[in-house]
Chains A and B, each alone.
Chain A
Amino acid sequence: MLALTKPRVMSLVVFTGLCGLLAAPVPVHPVLGFAAVLCIALGAGAAGALNQWYEADLDAKMKRTAKRPLPAGRMDPQTALHFGVGLAVFSVVLMDLAANHLAAAILAVSILFYVLVYTVWLKRRTAQNIVIGGAAGAFPPLIGWVAATGDVSALPILLFAIIFLWTPPHFWALSLFVRSDYAAAGVPMLPVVAGVQATRRQIALYTLPMSAAAVAPWAMGLTGWVYGAIASTLSLLFIVLSLTVLANRATEPAGMAPEKRLFAYSILYLFALFGALVVDRWAL
């Protein structure tokens, strides 16, 4: 059952949600803060379960996902559907009780966006699937902030923008070295549809607005110099790694060390960036 909730993806969602909550300029009761982060985790788990329920046929065709509970036959689809819907409703209702209506509404929108807009509508239809669908993963810091404050301001919108712009280079780096998997499953990821070099160009291009969004909270005076220095350094390294990807000419996964490095770094980048935000807010 736990595997159905995509626990590895959830860890990043929970962390960014927690950082959104901790970066808010109001004190949060520890119990209510814990409940809000739990709701974000459960909502992400529900979205992951419903995604796996809908995509069981695709997952069965890809090496990376073939061992998930549904394609491997360890769980029947109806149980997964009931679990996903039940968990989604529970997480939204609990968020409403523990935090406020707005946080619950945004959580509901994020689950519906991931399941209906990304999974059902975009993923099998367009190479822009993760560009638009990336919004679903960008909601957690916004939800954390709203759970604490009850309203939306410039900083949580920037945090949303950072993850939204980070998602394409992150997923395209991955999709470059698992391109054959996506091609076999018929998923129109950018490397499958537009080719390897076009994807590398897009990665490098997206890294620029992502970096701008990452340093914007400091440039706009919404955070201190600690965040500004860490965000600038991390983003500069992201740009350098994306340029090594752009310079690479390999077309087979064995020669895609720069892509694998960028993918691994992109995860570290997001953890470190949001960690810096909290350090900046609390340590100074």
Chain B
Amino acid sequence: MNEDEVIRAKQAARAKVLALILGAFVVLMFAITIAKMSINQ
């Protein structure tokens, strides 16, 4: 693997981690919203 490929692989790994974190954040915000609505009802 040359240097460019190593850098690309690292970037791809970071992008996947970031995507997972953002996905988890969206799920958490959705769950918080639903929980708050259920408390206020």
Which residues in A have some Cβ–Cβ distance to B below 8 Å? 29, 31-32, 35, 38, 94, 97-98
Interface of B is mostly: helix
Count of inter-chain pairs, beta carbons less than 8 A: 19
* Chain A residue with Cβ nearest B36: A32
Contact yes or no, B28 A29, CB < 8 A? no
Contact yes or no, A35 B28, CB < 8 A? yes
* Chain A residue with Cβ nearest B29: A97
Q: Mark B16-41, 1 if CB is under 8 A from A, else 0.
A: 00000000000011011011101100
Please name 12 pairs of A and B residues whose Cβ atoms are closer than 8 Å in the assembled complex, sorted by A.
A29-B38, A31-B34, A32-B32, A32-B35, A32-B36, A35-B28, A35-B31, A35-B32, A38-B28, A94-B28, A97-B29, A97-B32
**Docked CA distance A32–B38 (Å):** 11
Within 8 Å CB of B35, what residues of A? Answer: 29, 31-32
B35 to chain A, nearest CB (A): 4
Within 8 Å CB of A29, what residues of B? Answer: 35, 38-39
B4 to chain A, nearest CB (A): 21
Within 8 Å CB of A94, what residues of B? Answer: 28
A279 to chain B, nearest CB (A): 26
Which 9 A-B pairs give the minimum distances between C-beta atoms? A31-B35, A29-B35, A31-B31, A98-B32, A32-B35, A35-B32, A29-B39, A97-B32, A31-B32
* Chain B residue with Cβ nearest A38: B28
* Chain B residue with Cβ nearest A35: B32
* Chain B residue with Cβ nearest A99: B32
**Docked CA distance A31–B29 (Å):** 10
Within 8 Å CB of A38, what residues of B? Answer: 28
* Chain B residue with Cβ nearest A33: B35
* Chain A residue with Cβ nearest B38: A29
B17 to chain A, nearest CB (A): 9
**Docked CA distance A94–B29 (Å):** 9
B16 to chain A, nearest CB (A): 14
* Chain A residue with Cβ nearest B35: A31
